[in-house]
Amino acid sequence: MQLTNLAFMSSRNDYLDAQRSVSNSTSRLSSSSKLGVSNIDSAAISQSAKIRSTILTEKSYTQNLHSTRSYLKFQEDGYMKVFQIYQRMEELSSESLLHPKDFNNPINKEFDELKKQLLEIKKSKMNGISIFDPVATCGDISDIDVKDSALDYTSPDLAVSQTIRGKSQDVGAYGGTLSFKVNSGNTGEIYRVFMGDKEIFSTGPSFTGTDPTKEVINSYTEWSAGTVIKRNNGVVFNDQIYQNISGGNFTINGSSITPNLDPSNWLDTNTKTSNIDTDGSLQSTITNPNSWQTSGTASNGDPDTIKLIFGPGVETSYEITIGNSNLAQTFNTGPSPQSKLHSDGGKIRIADLGENSSETKLSLHVETKSIGVISDVKFVPIFFDKQLAIDSVGNQVALKAVGIEDFESFSIDSSSNAKKTSDKLLGVGSMMGEIECIGANWLPKIASAINRIDSELSAKQSSSLSHKIALGRIVDSDVALETTNQAKQMLKMDMAAFVMSNTTRINDILTPLTTQHHRSSVMDGAAFL
């Protein structure tokens, strides 16, 4: 027979439970965290990890905002100095405009010193980062002259069946608004626009060549024995184009008779300066379904106007204004007029510049089988904001691309030069003056960006405080509660120890009563034998 001291066992369990509680409370008090004990809720661990991650992310965004604010403030201070310099330059140019001064006059020397100050400000940096955009000024519209250029292609080379004509120009900006007029006739042409080697617009198949700044010739007739050259058509001989004026078709019998030695049959037209299409840069043919058309011929119909807006990190867009004589043409009517075609494989293709694009070289192409006409090319720079992420849900703050006109090529040493300088400072016609550009454009934009950042910093501070409070509720120990619980559990331990000490005596009393009790004859097992 085995005796069980139930009172002792119960007290022992109470003691052990209290001991564990005291240990947990001690751990929480020493670490100031609830999460250092083994029986913590796993959901609390998961939630605390999420909140900690959010706090770290917000800290990173806050640091970005502080850095950006410092940058913009530096930029704002620089522009205030530039604004004052421009105002003084205007005073000097106005005085020289009315009373011209020679080169050695103190006024001219002061103007030159002001230009040096502008150049120093323009070069200023913060932590190695340029404060001002080297190409962003408030300049006027750039007229890209295509007259007497490759785009001024009013008659085809007789020996060439298809060609790409182009013109490239450094526009001094990373993006802007480009507009130009086109008149192809119903034969159809392809017009393309590039920034650097990036094709951003095409009215037909994309250019596949390696260098968009060069002209390319697709096909031509080479001088070769047995080749028949029709009347008034051309032939290439030693990189020179000649026209057959023999009065009929001319069969080349050999190289003994050359066009440059036979002026009675051949007319020297021009020099073939274009690059030969050896890598298949051109399409094999231009057909109406994949080219841009106007009414009649290039010489008698109204032109269409193409307007393109593009820049780093922004979506390229376009507008097309159809010329009056072209409105009723079949290719401009119906459910899918050519002016609205924009899809992969469609007649109009556009592409966006990369966010970090810094190209300033603009190139225009016309791919043609006839004469190709591009005219009235204008470019207006637009300086696009750079976007800085300020949170994880996609909100951004704009960094303004700002620039300084350093007036390096300007002077006030004559009335004409003073007038030119004054016009640049105050503006004339559609051109915004540099003084207005800073006072009404750059400075308000910078101030707006700073205010936005201040607002975001305030919101970040409030959000961060809320997250820290939430984290504290999950993680941080309640010192008062844990101290009280620790004391309660220690009392419980003491009581359990006392009970265990006293209940051990029960065994000492019960043992003799059960093993050494008086055995009567009735209880004696031998009586039953």
pLDDT tens digits, residue range 267-276?
A: 887 776 667 7
Residue 355: other Cβ atoms inside 10 A: 12
- Specify if 514 maps to a domain: no
pTM equals 0.57
Q: Tokens representing 149?
A: 């250029």
Does residue 302 share a domain with residue 338? yes
- Specify if 371 maps to a domain: yes
Strand partners, 184: none
Angle at 48 between CA 44 and CA 52, to 5 degrees: 175
Does residue 153 share a domain with residue 60? no
| Distance in angstroms (rounded) separating the CA atoms of residues 423 and 312 | 30
Does residue 408 share a domain with residue 444? yes
Nearest to 207 by CA among 98, 306, 104, 283: 283
Nearest to 198 by CA among 359, 356, 317: 359
Does residue 203 share a domain with residue 298? yes
CATH number at residue 170: 2.60.120
| Distance in angstroms (rounded) separating the CA atoms of residues 307 and 443 | 29
Residue that is last in its domain, among 466, 487, 510? 466
Name the domain count of the chain: 3
Residue 279 sits at φ, ψ, to 5 deg, of -110, 15
- Specify if 445 maps to a domain: yes
Q: Which amino acid is at 29?
A: L
Does residue 372 share a domain with residue 301? yes
Residue 280's region, left for phi above 0, alpha for psi from -120 to 50, else beta, is left
* SS3 assignment for 235-286: EEECCEEEEECCCCCEECCCCCCCHHHCCCCEEEEEECCCEECCCCCCCCCC
Does residue 87 share a domain with residue 114? yes
pLDDT tens digits, residue range 114-172?
A: 999 988 888 787 776 667 766 555 555 556 666 656 566 666 677 777 888 888 888 87
Q: Residue 94: which domain range?
A: 48-136+393-466
pLDDT given at position 458: 78
Does residue 359 share a domain with residue 293? yes
Does residue 335 share a domain with residue 193? yes
Query: What per-residue string of b and e applies to 11-38 under the rule 16 or more CB within 10 Å gives b?
Result: bbebbeebeebbebbebbbeeebbbeee
Query: Tens-digit pLDDT profile for the chain (529 aa)?
Result: 444 556 666 766 666 666 666 566 566 555 555 555 545 555 665 665 665 666 566 676 777 777 778 888 888 888 899 999 999 999 999 888 877 666 677 888 899 999 999 888 887 877 766 677 665 555 555 566 666 565 666 666 777 778 888 888 888 778 889 999 998 888 888 999 999 999 999 998 888 777 888 878 777 788 888 888 888 888 888 878 888 888 889 888 876 678 888 888 888 877 766 677 777 777 656 776 778 989 887 777 889 999 999 988 889 999 999 999 999 898 898 888 888 888 766 789 899 998 778 788 899 988 888 777 888 888 887 766 666 666 666 666 656 556 778 888 888 888 888 888 888 888 887 677 888 888 887 788 788 878 878 877 777 666 666 655 555 555 555 556 656 666 676 676 666 666 666 666 555 555 555 555 555 554 454 444 4
